[in-house]
Amino acid sequence: MNVIRYPQKEEWDELLKRPVMNVDTLRETVCRVLDDVKTGGDRAVMAYEKQFDHVELECLAVTEEEMDEAERLVSPELKDALRLAHENIGKFHASQRFETTKVEVRPGVTCWQKAVPIERVGLYIPGGTAPLFSTVLMLATPAKIAGCREIVLCTPPGRDGKVHPAILCAARVAGVNRIFKAGGVQAIGAMAYGTESVPKVYKIFGPGNQYVMAAKQQVSLHDVAIDMPAGPSEVAVLADAGSNPVFVAADLLSQAEHGVDSQVLLVTTDEALVGKVQDEVERQLAALPRKEIAEQALAHSKLVVVRDMDEAMELTNRYAPEHLIIETADYLQAAERVVNAGSVFLGSYTPESAGDYASGTNHTLPTNGYATAYSGVNLDSYHRKITFQELTPQGIRDIGPAVELMAAGEHLDAHRNAMTVRLESIKTEMK
């Protein structure tokens, strides 16, 4: 990991750059695969499954027999863990339910909003580097609470042509309706356009690698809504002289192991902590089975020493990390100053792993600086808000003249007239 001591502000942008792929190469692949899926349907998806996932499929849909087989293969302990996580995620997301309140903005003018579930949603579950069955719970649990009628899931199969059993088990726990074997760009295309077997959905959710993230952004231009850009994982850890280097190193490695393009950042006010964290990273890394992946991610990760907490906060807010762990003595005060982050973990005993799996918050979060503008997945992501209004004759009298005037000012006479005919009708009735 590169150590950067007391960088000048002019150096921050360079320092905070993510290890992203060449945009043109990415776009070229993404557009080609999407076009093929749009025209070729299932056959194109299967051809790309062969090319990218090295698997020959005869059909994309997961069968009931495969679901039952998965149920037998997953240990009772893991099933219990899935149920515990499902319960906590459910509790937290159910607490986000929207209450409809009617507001009488003027006498006779009443407005309200209603949250209506998106009827058919598509969930993408990553499976290239690791089978992220926890993501099934993160995406399907709020979809179910929101009341989405049809929950479709796509995930890349293994080389044996099967979906990882824990993904299928989690899907059953969370109430997913239909599951398809498709990964990467071809999965996003299948859900965006629909194929012979995969239904076209109204909104696609879920994280993925840079191909998946770029494909979601591409289809969102014309074809389907998406939750947000959620790509390679990242974490910034904010630490001071009192922080535990063992915990800090563990937290950095927990995200570095996600993928070679993950990025982890330590921001500290204590120069002496850097060496201790470096030693710990080396020690813990040696014991990791996914050592090679984490090593590559660490190559473009940084340990940054800053002058004080003010600078630390400014730097992390500029970075807008997907996850921010604050392990400083004054973490509650620091938390107040967070403006840009996907999800924040407070104190020494709150590792990001807690939120990744089981505390209840959602782990599907904006990356690559998009935390400046997007929220992570939450209950509202599965809703549309439809507004309603009702005007009485009293309301028409109250706001009618203003509407007439404004419509005339915009030279929209038909708009003005829709109000005028009502005002006249009220006058006539009163006579």
Ligand X SMILES: N[C@H](CO)Cc1c[nH]c[nH+]1
The residue within the footprint of ligand X, chosen from 316, 356, 376, 416 (CB under 6 A), is 356
* Edge-first strand listing for the sheet containing 383-391: 103-106, 109-117, 383-391
233 binds ligand X (CB under 6 A): yes
322 is catalytic: yes
List binding-site positions.
Answer: 124, 186, 209, 233, 255, 258, 323, 356, 410, 415
Nearest CB to ligand NAD, comparing residues 148 and 293:
293
The one-letter amino acid code at 151 reads I
Closest CB to ligand NAD among residues 230, 266: 230
Which residues have C-beta within 8 Å of that of residue 30, sequence separation ≥ 6? 185, 211, 214, 215, 218
Tell me if residue 292 is catalytic.
no
Q: Catalytic residue among 86, 164, 323, 383, which?
A: 323
Query: What is the nearest approach in angstroms of ligand NAD to the Cβ of residue 23?
Result: 14
For the bound state, the minimum distance from the C-beta of residue 101 to ligand NAD, rounded and expressed in Å, comes to: 32
| Catalytic residue (choose from 322, 327, 363, 383) | 322
Minimum distance of ligand X from residue 135's CB (angstroms): 6
132 binds ligand X, rule: CB under 6 A = yes
Does residue 261 interact with ligand X by CB under 6 A?
Answer: no
Residue 42 sits in the site that holds Zn ion (CB under 5 A): no
- Footprint of Zn ion on residues 346-365 (CB under 5 A)? 356
Q: Which is nearer to ligand NAD, 184 or 400 (CB)?
A: 184
**Cross-strand pairs, 109:** 106, 391
- Closer to ligand X by CB, 132 or 176: give it: 132
52 binds, among ligand NAD, Zn ion, ligand X, none (CB under 5 to 8 A by kind): ligand NAD
Contact call for residue 322 and ligand X (CB under 6 A): yes
What b-and-e string marks burial along 9-32, b requiring 16 or more CB atoms within 10 Å of the CB? eeebeebbebbeeeeeebeebbee
What is the spatial order of strands in the sheet that 178-181 belongs to?
Answer: 178-181, 150-155, 120-124, 203-205, 225-226
CA-to-CA dists, residue 398 to 108, 403, 416, angstroms: 8, 10, 15
> Which residue in the shown chain puts its C-beta closest to ligand X?
233
Rule CB under 6 A: choose which of 363, 383, 397, 416 binds ligand X: 363
Number of residues that bind ligand X (CB under 6 A): 7
Binding-site entries for NAD(+):
124, 186, 209
76 vs 289, beta carbon nearer Zn ion: 289
Asked if residue 53 binds Zn ion (CB under 5 A), the reply is no
Contact status: 144 vs ligand X (CB under 6 A) = no
Binding-site annotation: residue ranges for Zn(2+): 255, 258, 356, 415
Q: State the SS3 of the chain.
A: CEEEECCCHHHHHHHCCCCCCCHHHHHHHHHHHHHHHHHHHHHHHHHHHHHHHCCCCCCCECCHHHHHHHHHHCCHHHHHHHHHHHHHHHHHHHCCCCCCCCEEEECCEEEEEEEEECCEEEEECCCCCCCCHHHHHHHHHHHHHHCCCEEEEEECCCCCCCCCHHHHHHHHHHCCCEEEECCHHHHHHHHHHCCCCCCCCCEEECCCCHHHHHHHHHHCCCCCEECCCCCCCEEEEEECCCCCHHHHHHHHHHHHCCCCCCEEEEEECCHHHHHHHHHHHHHHHHCCCCHHHHHHHHHCCEEEECCCHHHHHHHHHHHCCCEEEECCCCHHHHHHCCCCCCEEEECCCCCHHHHHHCCCCCCCCCCCCHHHCCCCCCHHHHEEEEEEEEECHHHHHHHHHHHHHHHHHCCCHHHHHHHHHHHHHHHHHHC
Return the one option of Zn ion, ligand X, ligand NAD, none that residue 134 interacts with (CB less than 5 to 8 A, by type).
Answer: ligand X
Residue 375 binding partner per list ligand NAD, ligand X, Zn ion, none, with a CB distance cut-off of 5 to 8 Å that depends on partner kind: none
Stretch 98-137: interaction string toward Zn ion, x if CB under 5 A: ----------------------------------------
Q: In the bound complex, what is the minimum distance in angstroms from residue 183's beta carbon to ligand NAD?
A: 2
Residue 269 binding partner per list Zn ion, ligand NAD, ligand X, none, with a CB distance cut-off of 5 to 8 Å that depends on partner kind: none
For the CB of residue 1, give the shortest distance to ligand NAD in the complex, in Å: 18
Of these partners, Zn ion, ligand X, ligand NAD, none, which one is at the site of residue 185 (CB under 5 to 8 Å by kind)? Answer: ligand NAD
Least distance (Å) between residue 153 CB and Zn ion: 19
Q: Which is nearer to ligand NAD, 122 or 232 (CB)?
A: 232
Catalytic annotation, residues:
322-323
Which residues contact ligand X (rule: CB under 6 A)? 132, 134-135, 233, 322, 356, 363
Which residues contact Zn ion (rule: CB under 5 A)? 356
